[in-house]
Amino acid sequence: AQSVTQLDSQVPVFEEAPVELRCNYSSSVSVYLFWYVQYPNQGLQLLLKYLSGSTLVKGINGFEAEFNKSQTSFHLRKPSVHISDTAEYFCAVSDWGDYKLSFGAGTTVTVRA
Amino acid sequence: KAGVTQTPRYLIKTRGQQVTLSCSPISGHRSVSWYQQTPGQGLQFLFEYFSETQRNKGNFPGRFSGRQFSNSRSEMNVSTLELGDSALYLCASSLGLGTGEEDTQYFGPGTRLTVL
């Protein structure tokens, strides 16, 4: 079974500063990787995904992530955050053909002016 | 396209009762998955249905069950509710054809269940 570790539970950051959220997963087999964002009292919104190909993927709202197979990592970055980026962020992994997502515990990002 | 819809959005039940939650997937999506989200356990996979068949199941007791209809709408049922079943229940849909892009899951807003 997949295990997903999000290394930071809380990340405070000032507006317009960069942010990086770290994610590591356990499986060495072929996987799909996702980042989702959850705003208060809402469901999960897909930010970006890695399925195959280029290891640097770009998503919505200026986010990007880099897949590193040797380190089994999929870290999320944004060069300049806004107050509206305050939310909880989840890293998720799916084994090929498994039809389910395994999630990390989440990282709460709080952006301050 | 309309997104994933879940009804009701909020529910309050008492211990011992049963509850049914509903999920309507994105048009054309044939796979529906259910997840439970709690502060203590995080997001956990319950089960996944594709063309009315359960293809994958998480580690939950038999009190949790589901089904999918021919129009791909899905229901989840929890019988004999316990206090620990209080959670946000999220439904997600995808094409479900096992090829990455087609397995990308899109989530609904969730149903907040409170068990008293």
Question: Is A106 within 8 Å of B48 when comparing Cβ atoms?
Answer: no
Among B92, B60, B93, B52, which Cα is nearest to B79's? B60
Which pLDDT score, from 0 to 100, does residue B103 have?
Answer: 81
Instruction: Give B70-105 pLDDT, tens digit per residue.
Output: 999 999 999 999 999 999 999 999 988 877 677 889
DSSP assignment of B21-83: EEEEPPTT--EEEEEEEETTTEEEEEEEEETTEEEEE-S--TTEEEEE-TTS-EEEEE-S--G
In this model, does residue A28 exceed pLDDT 70? no
- Residues B103-113 have a mean pLDDT of 94
Distance from CA of B17 to the nearest CA of A (A): 25
Which pLDDT score, from 0 to 100, does residue B49 have?
Answer: 96
Distance from CA of A9 to the nearest CA of B (A): 12
Distance from CA of A81 to the nearest CA of B (A): 24
In this model, does residue A9 exceed pLDDT 90? yes
Q: Which of B26, B38, B43, B106 to mutate to test the interface with A (most CBs of A within 10 A)?
A: B43
Distance from CA of A106 to the nearest CA of B (A): 8
- Residues A102-110 have a mean pLDDT of 97
- Chain B CB contacts of A88 below 8 Å: none
Residue A48's H or E segment, with its range, is strand A44-50
Instruction: Give B22-60 pLDDT, tens digit per residue.
Output: 999 999 999 999 999 999 999 999 999 999 999 999 999
Which pLDDT score, from 0 to 100, does residue A68 have?
Answer: 93
Which pLDDT score, from 0 to 100, does residue A99 have?
Answer: 81
Could you tell me the pLDDT band of residue B20, with boundaries at 50, 70 and 90? very high
For residue B104, what are its two tokens?
């990308």
From A43, A51, A97, residue closest to B107, measured CB to CB: A43
Could you tell me the pLDDT band of residue A29, with boundaries at 50, 70 and 90? confident
DSSP assignment of A65-96: EEEETTTTEEEEEESS--GGG-EEEEEEEEET
- Residues A84-92 have a mean pLDDT of 97
CB of B39 within 8 Å of a chain A CB? The answer is no
Question: Is A32 within 8 Å of B35 when comparing Cβ atoms?
Answer: no
